[in-house]
Every structure is written in structure tokens, then in C-alpha cells.
Amino acid sequence: MRITVAESAGFCFGVSRAVDTVEKTARQGGQVVTLGPIIHNRHVVQKFQDLGVAVIDSPEQAQPGMTVIIRSHGVAKGVLETLHRHQVTVIDATCPFVKRIHDIVSKAEENGRLPVIIGTPSHPEVEGIAGWCGDCRIFESPEQLEKWALSGEISLDTAISMVSQTTSTENLWKKCCEIAKKLFTNLKIYDTICRATEFRQGEAAKLSRSCQAMVVVGDPHSSNTGRLAMICREHCEKVALVDNASQLNAAFFSGVTDVGITAGASTPAWIIKEVTKTMSEITNIEAVQEENFDALLEQSLKTLNTGDKVLGTVVGIGNTEVQVELGTKHAGYIPYDEVSSDPSVKPEDILHIGDEIEVFVVRVNDQEGTVQLSKKKLDGIKVWDDMAAWAEEKTTVEGTITEENKGGLVASVKGIRVFIPASQSGIAKGGDMAGMVGQNVQLKITEVNRARRRVIGSIRAVNAEERKANREKIWAEIEEGKKYQGVVKSMTSYGAFVDIGGVDGMVHVSELSWNRIKNPAEVVKVGDEIEVFVISFDADKKKISLGYKTAEMNPWNQFMTNYNVGDVVDAKIVKLMTFGAFAEIIPGVDGLIHISQIADKRIGKPEDVLAEGQDVQVKITDVDAENKRISLSIRALLAPEAEEVVEETEEVVEAE
């Protein structure tokens, strides 16, 4: 048989705090009493009676000089007033979550709103909540709530403030909220279920689905324990609710191979330990998840101090704070503004119910049993530790540029402000640093001064490291003809220098274009991204000769691909000679129009008809591919009729 004990079994922090309060007060001597049983567990109550702590049932029973302890369920405001009139010392051990509900209903009434409580009317906690407002309504089920709303007893536009008993089930609360939202037009809902309780119930549901039998340990009169048993029965056929180990029946577990154990919030650790031990004995096995309950009990009584770093479990995410179970008598909470240093981050995006987190103790209030925590502060402390380590180890980190100033740039790295001097920005002098704002960058931390909260970083150091690695790779793999994407870095009269990823190569002016150019600026400019190829290289001297013009860019090849003999094309007269005129068909490719092909009549010289720069239409009459010569004709485009008329006119003249 396998036995699994729920991790959340036993005292919640509210109960643990109340029990601890009674024990400490009893040791101090004097007549100590509790108003009602301190918790719903007869064994704990008996233990305190053995220590001399009595139980009174009403405030009227309190005698002057007594120390009266209020249990975790809390009491009505009037009860506290009565106790003070009896001249007793009052120690309030009300659960902080319950106290919060007292404040909600009290303020609601002050603001003219009607408090509505979802819970069991006879439960001490609910009775106490109701005692903090003059008028309220209490409902045990969504059906009761709906019936009241539709009865006509109250207007649906009445201002309603709705709260829940802390130990209510999430399912019941959600159904009530759905009905209230549909019916009431002026409604405020406060989610006051204790998330530790919700977590415990969720764990019980999960465990009961995977086990053949469940043992729920706790006082049968405890609401918390009763709900656990009810939840377990929804998923498991065999559920035993036992007050202590003596109620276990070996026959109940016949044929069972998996047993789960959970316990109510009012069940002390020693009873759970006793039940687990007895289960192991009657099944002749050892529990696979038996907890060291003595250690857990000791942990629940430990003290917290401002500045401590502690581990906790997220048990609730409310509207203004995150509730954290610390395993102590304190109710831990993280205000929303202490969750993250990034104001755009929502708590529910980074935290979830059941998450184990490390937090920083900001403030401890032993009187109220609360402790304010901060995830942001601890994250900040860790980041400063990381910063120092990154600087020492020269680690590359990622940051976001948030602003530019006259001295350089500012980056945010894990929420810490990092200054990047202009000389370390990786931007050339006079370059556009403002364009970096908003970009994610890689940088190195070069200096950390925690006392002055000053951090300096360098983008340039990362770039230099990358360039070094790229240089080594390029020289290891370089070969003639290999192509690279490069950036034009600078130019001279004889060529352009191109960065191919950490190494500069030179493209001679003759390798930039197939056309004759006087200056590299006619083809490229600094900053251009171009594709180049290796013509030659000298690894020893670290020199690379690059080419830019390719066969595909050769104008003659372009002409041969796109033009044929017989095509009529537009051309421009670029040079006049005694024997004809040269016309540019495409940049870099000229053809000759022989003097006999310029006009339909004899001319003395080409400039009689043509001028340099003139646009003409010509016909390609011949192509000498071997010698790269092209013959062109304007005359071939003249109309045949015009030629016949000229010939006839000439014949008549000759006859005369």
C-alpha cells in the first residue's frame, strides 16, 4: 500500500498564530481564558485546559483581571466593547483575513451600502462578521441569494457589498457572484476566501482523484474539515473522517493500494503524525511521504524579522496584493507595487497559485499577525549580486536602451539603470544615438558601485568581441571566389573599403563597375550594404582584394541577353567621328552608325545631321560577338516610299 500525505495538511497560519498566542500567554501566568474554543479541535482545547486555560462562552462571564484571548474566528464589535467594560486584558488572535472582512463590512455600512455575507449563519466567523455592521444579509447558497433578490424585498439598484466566509468553497462563491452580477446594478464584490483554504481544498481534490481511499483528519464539528471531506467524497468512494488515530479501522482499507491523508486547518501536527504512524502499522508499510511533523510544528512557531529572506507559497492573488503562505503564524502579503520593478507587469503574469517564491521581509506586525513582503526588493538585491558577478566574469547581458543623454545612453538591465558612455555605445562619433532608444542590445557590465548605485556598461566591448570571433572565422574559411555581405566603411580615390564582418577588404575602382568611372562615389557610398567576392588574399599580411562587378553586371552580357539583330532601340549619340557616330544603347554598350546609315542621302560629315547627346531611334543591323562590335542604322528605318520618290527626282534632274 502507498500512503501520501497532503503537503498542506494541518494548521493554517491563522490557527497557528492563535494557538501560539495561547501557549505564550499561558506561560506568562495569570488567569487566562479563551472566548469560546480557541479552534475547532477538542484535543487542542483539552491540552490548554491542562495548562490552566479555561473556556468562557460569553463576554459576560469575564471577570476583572482576566486575560481573554479572542479566537481566530473573530467576534462582533459589541463583544469587544463588553469585554473592555469588564476590565479585562483582551488579546485579539483573530485571523488577519477575517479582520479584513470586518473592515470591509464596517466601511460598507458607513458608505450607505448593504453588506451581503455568503456563509453559514451559525458559524462563529460569520456571526463575528455580522457583528461589525448594523444590518446585513447572510446566505448559504446561490439559490437563497437569488430567491431573496427576486422576492421584491429589496430594490435591485440597492448598493450591495458582498463578502464570503473565508472557508467557503470557490465553486459556491463563484456561483453566488454570477447571480449577483446579473441581478444587482450597484454591486461591489470582495473576494475574501482564504487562499490557503482554497489551496488546501484543491490539493485534497487532486489527491482524492488518484487514491482509492482518503483519510480526512480533524474535528467533525469543524467547517473547514467538513468541507475537505465533502470534496474528497466527490472524487473518491472511500473517505474516512477521523478525529484521531484511534478511530482508524483496518478493515476499511481492505484491498486498497493507494491511500491519501489530508487534515483540516484546526488539526495539530502531532495528531496527523499519529494517524500516519498508525496507518503505517495497520498496513505493515511505511508512508512514502510522511512529514517530520515535529519540525513542521517548530517551523510554524518561528519568528520573522525585517530584512529576512524567506520561502513562501502563493496562495492567493487579490485586487491589491498577493497572499503568501510562509509556514509560520503570520499572514504574508505582497502589495502589487512590490511584485516587480516593471510597472507594466501584472502579478498574475508572473505568479500563480501554488508557486514557491523567495521574498524579502519588509515589515512584521506581530500584533495583527501580518508580515509585509517584497519580491521586487529581493529581486533587486539578487540583480546587484548578479551585476557584480557579470562585471567580474565579463558576461554579456541583454538590456533595453531607455534614453539618450549628452554623455551617452542609458539601458535597463533587469530593472537596474546602466549608463553607457558615448565612446562605448558602438556608434561612430556624430552618429545617431537617439535611434538606439527602444532597442534591445547586448552589452558588458564594466563597473559596479553598489554604494552609489552606479553601473557602467559597454556595447562596444561586445561588438569588439564579436568582431574578433568573426575575424578568426573569416581567416579560417576564406577562399577565392567566396561571396560575403559587406558594408562600405570608407572610400579613397582608388577604391572602397568594405567590412565583411570583422575584416576589411578593398574593392579597387576598376572592380566597382564595368563602366569607366573616375571616383568610387559614382557607384557606392559609405554605409551601403553590398555583396562582394574574394579576388585574392594574403593571410600573412591580412590583406583582401575584393570584387564588386560580376558577369551578370557586365553590360555586354546584358546586351547579348536582351537584344537581337533587327531590334529597333532608342539610343543616344555619344561621339561623332569622320566615318560615323557612336550611339549608346545601354550604359557601357555603344554601337556604330556608319556615315552611310545616318541619312537617306549623301552627307559630308555626321555633325551635319547629328549632335552629341541627341536621342535617336536605330535598328540593330549586325552584331560581331567575338570583337564586341554592333552596327546600327537610322536609314534602315526610313519609309520605302520616301526612298523611291528621291530616286525618281534624281533621274529627272539627270535627264534635263
**Cα–Cα dist 382/396, whole Å:** 17
As given in the structure block, the three cell numbers for residue 79 are: 463583544
Any idea what DSSP says for residue 452? T
The DSSP secondary structure of 66-80, one letter per residue, reads -EEEEPTT---HHHH
Amino acid identity for residue 385 in this structure: D
**Cα–Cα dist 623/611, whole Å:** 24
**Cα–Cα dist 107/109, whole Å:** 5
**Cα–Cα dist 236/208, whole Å:** 6
Amino acid identity for residue 569 in this structure: V
Work out the burial of residue 74: count CB atoms within 10 Å of its CB; fewer than 13 is exposed, 13-18 middle, 19 or more buried.
buried
Q: Tell me if 127 sits within 8 A of 58, measured CB to CB.
A: no
Backbone phi, psi, residue 292, to 5°: -80, 85
Give the residue ranges of DSSP H helices in 131-241. Answer: 142-150, 170-183, 195-210, 223-235
Q: What is the pairing mode between strands 137-139 and 160-164?
A: unpaired
Q: Tell me if 339 sits within 8 A of 376, measured CB to CB.
A: yes
Q: Tell me if 246 sits within 8 A of 207, measured CB to CB.
A: no
Residue with cell 500563480: 352
Q: Tell me if 314 sits within 8 A of 351, measured CB to CB.
A: yes
Q: Tell me if 145 sits within 8 A of 176, measured CB to CB.
A: yes
Neighbours of 253 (CB within 10 A): 20
Longest dimension (CA), the chain: 159
Neighbours of 462 (CB within 10 A): 18
Q: Tell me if 181 sits within 8 A of 106, measured CB to CB.
A: no
Residues pairing with 495 in the sheet: 492, 508
The closest alpha carbon to 156, from 117, 115, 114, 184, belongs to 184
The alpha carbon of residue 177 and the mean position of all alpha carbons in its chain are separated, in whole angstroms, by 30
Any idea what DSSP says for residue 330? S
The alpha carbon of residue 276 and the mean position of all alpha carbons in its chain are separated, in whole angstroms, by 42
Enzyme catalytic residues: 125
Q: Tell me if 539 sits within 8 A of 530, measured CB to CB.
A: no
Neighbours of 254 (CB within 10 A): 8
Q: Which residues contact 213 (CB under 8 A, 6 or more apart)?
A: 236, 238, 239, 240, 252, 253, 256, 258, 259, 260
The alpha carbon of residue 616 and the mean position of all alpha carbons in its chain are separated, in whole angstroms, by 67
Backbone phi, psi, residue 642, to 5°: -65, -40
Please, what sign has the CA dihedral across residues 380, 383, 384, 385?
positive
Residue with cell 486584558: 89
Q: Tell me if 589 sits within 8 A of 555, measured CB to CB.
A: yes
Work out the burial of residue 554: count CB atoms within 10 Å of its CB; fewer than 13 is exposed, 13-18 middle, 19 or more buried.
middle
